[in-house]
Amino acid sequence: MSIFMLAFAGLAALVGIGVGYYLRVLVAKGIRGSMELDIKPMLTGATEQSQRNLDDAKKNAG
């Protein structure tokens, strides 16, 4: 095997590692984005419910 073939194989390995890492990051961001879309309505609902509970408590206390 010549030095050119070894250098080319090393370069190809580095490019493959870089592309694989980039794709992994993209997939992770996609998963995180979809989880955020699921959590946001739950958080909004919980915030509204807590506000109603506070209003009811104030009304019952006063």
CA distance 59 to 22: 55
pLDDT of the residue at 18: 94
Q: Which amino acid, one-letter code, is at 46?
A: A
In the chain, what are the domain boundaries?
19-62
Residue pLDDT, tens place only, 32-49: 777 777 888 888 999 999
- In this predicted structure, the answer to whether residue 9 has a pLDDT above a threshold of 70 is yes
**Prediction pTM value:** 0.50
**Number of Cβ within a 10 Å radius of residue 43:** 10
CA distance 33 to 59: 39
